[in-house]
Amino acid sequence: MVSTQLLLLSPLIAPLAAAAFAALGRRWNGVQRAVTIAALVVVIAAGVLLVVESLSSGVVSTVVGGESSLTGIALTADPFGAALVAAIGLLAAVVTATMAMTGDDHSPFLQPLMLVLIGGASGSFIAGDLFNLFVFFEVVLIGSYVLLVLLGGLPRLHAASVYVTVNLIGTMLLLTGIAGVFAATGTVNLAQLAQQPVVESGAMPGAVLVVLAFTLKAGLLPFSGWLAVGYPAAQRTTMALFAGTLTTVGVAALYRVVLLAFDGSAVLRSGVLVVAVATLLLASVAAVAAKQHGRVLGLLIVTQVGFMAAGFGLGTVAAVTAGVFFVLQDVVIKAAAILAYRPLGDSPVPAGGVRAVALTGFALLASSLVGIPPLAGFVGKALLVEAAFDAGSVVVAVAVLVASAATLAALLPLWWHVSGRGDTEPGSGTSSARLSACVAPAVAVAVAALVVGIVPGWLLTVAEGSAEVLVDPAAYARQVLGS
Amino acid sequence: MSAAIATGALAAAGIYLLLHGSLVRVVIGFLLLQHAVNLLLVTARSPQREEAPILPATVPQDPLGQAFVLTAIVIGFASVIFLLALTLRYVREARAAGPADRNSSAVGDTPREGGDHASW
């Protein structure tokens, strides 16, 4: 099964190897860009192939560097993880395109660090056991620490110290939880854990700690303070990258660990659901109240995490389908919204066609975040509300609707800010050429959001296939361990 | 038993230090907490394992716990180095900025990119 192994390894090895090459070739910007683009193409292609493969013939899995799953490194790609690999690759491509077109990639370590982030993220999506999940999480985090402080400056260092400390505490929680699970069950392999009932095997205390740690890293409510401080401190493109990657990695880990490894334990799910509802309500209201626009965007990212987590907290097939659909479209759209907003909001832009296109793009992306039809975000939220009503959780449905309304209210001041400042004289602020370079990739994403919103069928197929695997841990274990 | 006490003591001291605002104490606190968790990992043995995984063993032993600790130590080491570098740079920039700026940055939690966008 060499080809399977290669397919599963390529989204890990390509970005990490490319990061090394890009760091070596840091004096030649062209080399860096070429290497980055090549690695991202590999990531996206591998993600798409894995989605097709896992949808048609079940979970793709392999064990690297050992004969059994005990000593080797288990990699498993369920449709959800595979689709996320492709989505994260797409996100990185959008960010890279923005950096290349604006020349913001002048800092020689920006692209290598981004590649490390992407390699770690795709590793965490296809990691087959808890401990490798932890390792890939750390790869992502160390990349993000450095990206955050790359530019220096006291406020940024201050934000970074908060961010790093909180995440290190999360790491310690995660390790403690993994130790607890391992002591109780003797394994950390997701598929082997799926075969053991979580309560009877005594793994519950460890499981709670693991879930708590992922909740922290996803930025759900009791721990979301670091996110709204840390993200706005980052550079524009870096913030978009963080928004798409870091919270997604946490949420994806929650999906796979709670639903598969801890076999959808009702206690854990309802715990996450309560946190998700609280996040939806409080973060969205806080976003309405926030004054600085960076903080508004940071809090809206937290709100989006609430939507993602609500889907799997409910646990029904329909709700998980909705959640998966929401996560997949949100990864790219959220980041593109930030990419489109910052050049418009940071400085005055001259009136004209470019500005109109940029504003339209931002309006589309923002509408998708709010959930206005016919955009991609609407489909995800409509499915989520429907699933919540079907599952009998009116509270969740209401929370989703309230949070969407609050998102709209929070985004309106940002819209007024960017749309009401066109009447500056030409020559000041950002030039039209630079603006078009800044927002072109984001506008492309806006068009894609529109297309997905009108023709959601294919993405829905992926989401349904993912949900079928995620809600059936026994079948997952059979497919992984049987192969 | 002794491992449990050591883990508890290390964790308690680590968390105590983490709760202080100073970055240097946070680094030391994190180091202690790290060791507490490492100790926990190495003592968390799988139910099937009876003796230390050293060859020649009568039955093949499960080396997973040891592998975990080794990896955790390496990752923790990298994190500590990053934290120390961050602390150093923070202290240097704070000194260069002078006492007034230092106070304002400690109070305001709204880092800015610079430039003319006051509302960011």
> Residue B107 contacts by C-beta under 8 Å, 6 or more apart in sequence?
none
Tokens of A59: 């979970």
Confidence of residue A44 (pLDDT cuts 50, 70, 90): very high
pLDDT at B119 over 80: no
Q: Which of B101, B109, B112 lies closest to A229 in CB terms?
A: B109
> A271: closest CA among A342, A221, A328?
A221
Residue of B nearest to A131 (CA): B68
SS3 B118: coil
- Beta bridge partner(s), residue A131: none
pLDDT at A118 over 90: yes
For chain B, give me the number of helices (H) and strands (E)? 4, 0
In this predicted structure, what is the pLDDT of residue A225?
A: 67
| Span A381-391, average pLDDT | 88
| Span B68-96, average pLDDT | 88
The alpha carbon of residue A69 is apart from the nearest alpha carbon of chain B, in Å, by 11
In this predicted structure, what is the pLDDT of residue B105?
A: 43
Tokens of B64: 């997973």
Q: Which residue has the higher pLDDT, A184 or A346?
A: A184
Percentage with pLDDT > 70 across chain A? 93
The reply to whether residue B120 touches residue A294, judged by beta carbons under 8 angstroms, is yes
CA distance A140 to A88: 12
Domain map (residue ranges) of chain A: 2-482
User: CA angle, corner A32, sides to A19 and B88, nearest 5?
Assistant: 60
The reply to whether residue A345 touches residue B79, judged by beta carbons under 8 angstroms, is no
Q: Which of A135, A154, A176 lies closest to B75 in CB terms?
A: A135
Q: Which residue range forms the structural domain that includes residue B32?
A: 2-45+64-101
For residue range A11-29, list pLDDT tens digits in order: 999 999 998 888 888 778 7
Percentage with pLDDT > 90 across chain A? 12
Confidence of residue B33 (pLDDT cuts 50, 70, 90): very high
Long-range contacts of B45-49 (CB under 8 A, 24+ apart): B45/A183, B46/A182, B46/A183, B46/A185, B46/A186, B46/A187, B47/A183, B47/A184, B47/A185, B47/A186, B48/A186, B49/A186
Q: Which of A171, A176, A417 lies closest to B119 in CB terms?
A: A417
The reply to whether residue B40 touches residue A176, judged by beta carbons under 8 angstroms, is yes
For chain A, give me the number of helices (H) and strands (E)? 19, 2
Residue B24's Cβ-side half-sphere holds a number of Cα atoms within 13 Å equal to 2
The reply to whether residue A131 touches residue B116, judged by beta carbons under 8 angstroms, is no
Q: Which residues from chain B sit within 8 angstroms of residue A176, using beta carbons?
A: 37, 40
Pairing of β A73-77 and β A60-64: antiparallel
DSSP A393: -
The reply to whether residue B68 touches residue A235, judged by beta carbons under 8 angstroms, is no
Q: Which residues from chain A sit within 8 angstroms of residue B83, using beta carbons?
A: 164, 168
pLDDT at B78 over 70: yes
In this predicted structure, what is the pLDDT of residue B114?
A: 38
In this predicted structure, what is the pLDDT of residue A424?
A: 53
pLDDT at A126 over 80: yes
pLDDT at B47 over 90: no
Which among A259-273, A412-426, A466-480, B25-39 has the top mean pLDDT?
Answer: B25-39
B89 touches chain A (CB under 8 A): yes
Q: Is the peptide bond before A473 cis (omega within 30 degrees of 0)?
A: no
Number of domains forming the structure of chain B:
1
CA distance A435 to A356: 11
pLDDT at A153 over 80: no
In this predicted structure, what is the pLDDT of residue B103?
A: 47
Q: Is residue B120 part of a domain?
A: no
The reply to whether residue A164 touches residue B83, judged by beta carbons under 8 angstroms, is yes
CA distance B88 to A372: 48
SS3 A62: strand
Which among A98-102, A115-119, A202-206 has the top mean pLDDT?
Answer: A115-119
Residue of B nearest to A206 (CA): B44
> Residue B26 contacts by C-beta under 8 Å, 6 or more apart in sequence?
A161, A165, B17, B18, B20, B83
Q: Is residue B113 part of a domain?
A: no
* ipTM computed for the complex: 0.81
The alpha carbon of residue A370 is apart from the nearest alpha carbon of chain B, in Å, by 21
Q: Which of B48, B86, B89 lies closest to A164 in CB terms?
A: B86
The reply to whether residue B94 touches residue A154, judged by beta carbons under 8 angstroms, is yes
CB A154 within 8 A of CB A87: no
SS3 A405: helix
Q: How many other β-carbons are positioned within 10 Å of the β-carbon of residue A114?
A: 28
Q: Which of A155, A175, A236 lies closest to B37 in CB terms?
A: A175
Phi, psi of B116 (to 5 degrees): -100, 10
H or E element that contains A429:
none
Residue of A nearest to B24 (CA): A161
CA distance A327 to A129: 22
The alpha carbon of residue B55 is apart from the nearest alpha carbon of chain A, in Å, by 15
Q: Is residue B56 part of a domain?
A: no
| Span B29-58, average pLDDT | 74
Confidence of residue A105 (pLDDT cuts 50, 70, 90): low
CB B101 within 8 A of CB A275: no
Q: Is residue B26 part of a domain?
A: yes
pLDDT at A351 over 90: no
For residue range A269-325, list pLDDT tens digits in order: 888 888 888 888 888 888 888 888 888 888 888 888 888 888 888 888 888 899 899
B77 touches chain A (CB under 8 A): no
pLDDT at A182 over 70: yes
Q: Is residue B119 part of a domain?
A: no
Q: Lowest mean pLDDT: which of A93-102, A350-359, B103-112?
A: B103-112
Q: Lowest mean pLDDT: which of A408-412, A414-418, B109-113?
A: B109-113
Name residues 10-29 of chain B within 8 A of A (Cβ).
Answer: 18, 23, 26
| Span A39-55, average pLDDT | 90
Confidence of residue A413 (pLDDT cuts 50, 70, 90): confident
In this predicted structure, what is the pLDDT of residue A421?
A: 63
CB A444 within 8 A of CB A328: no
Q: Which of B89, B101, B115 lies closest to A346 in CB terms?
A: B115
B56 touches chain A (CB under 8 A): no
pLDDT at A106 over 70: no
Q: Is residue B59 part of a domain?
A: no
CA distance B74 to A298: 32
The alpha carbon of residue A327 is apart from the nearest alpha carbon of chain B, in Å, by 27
B60 touches chain A (CB under 8 A): no
pLDDT at B99 over 70: no
The reply to whether residue B93 touches residue A187, judged by beta carbons under 8 angstroms, is no
Confidence of residue B111 (pLDDT cuts 50, 70, 90): very low
CA distance A132 to A261: 14
CA distance A481 to A192: 8
Q: Is the peptide bond before B53 cis (omega within 30 degrees of 0)?
A: no
The alpha carbon of residue B9 is apart from the nearest alpha carbon of chain A, in Å, by 15
| Span A387-410, average pLDDT | 88
Q: Which residues from chain A sit within 8 angstroms of residue B119, using beta carbons?
A: 291-293, 345, 417
Interface with chain B: mutation pick from A63, A109, A291, A292, highest number of B CBs within 10 Å: A292
Confidence of residue B110 (pLDDT cuts 50, 70, 90): very low
Q: Which residues from chain A sit within 8 angstroms of residue B44, using beta carbons?
A: 179-180, 182-183
CA distance A130 to A187: 9
The alpha carbon of residue A367 is apart from the nearest alpha carbon of chain B, in Å, by 21
Q: Which residues from chain A sit within 8 angstroms of residue B109, using beta carbons?
A: 158-159, 229
In this predicted structure, what is the pLDDT of residue A176?
A: 92
The reply to whether residue B105 touches residue A158, judged by beta carbons under 8 angstroms, is yes
SS3 A342: helix
Could you give the C-alpha distances from A139 to A119, A134, A206, A410, in angstroms and in order? 8, 9, 22, 33
Q: Which residue has the higher pLDDT, A228 or B89?
A: B89
Residue of B nearest to A187 (CA): B46
In this predicted structure, what is the pLDDT of residue A67?
A: 62
Q: Is residue B108 part of a domain?
A: no
Q: Is residue B89 part of a domain?
A: yes
The reply to whether residue A172 touches residue B48, judged by beta carbons under 8 angstroms, is no
Q: How many other β-carbons are positioned within 10 Å of the β-carbon of residue A420?
A: 8
The reply to whether residue A346 touches residue B108, judged by beta carbons under 8 angstroms, is no
CA distance A442 to A449: 10
CA distance A246 to A214: 11
| Span B105-120, average pLDDT | 38
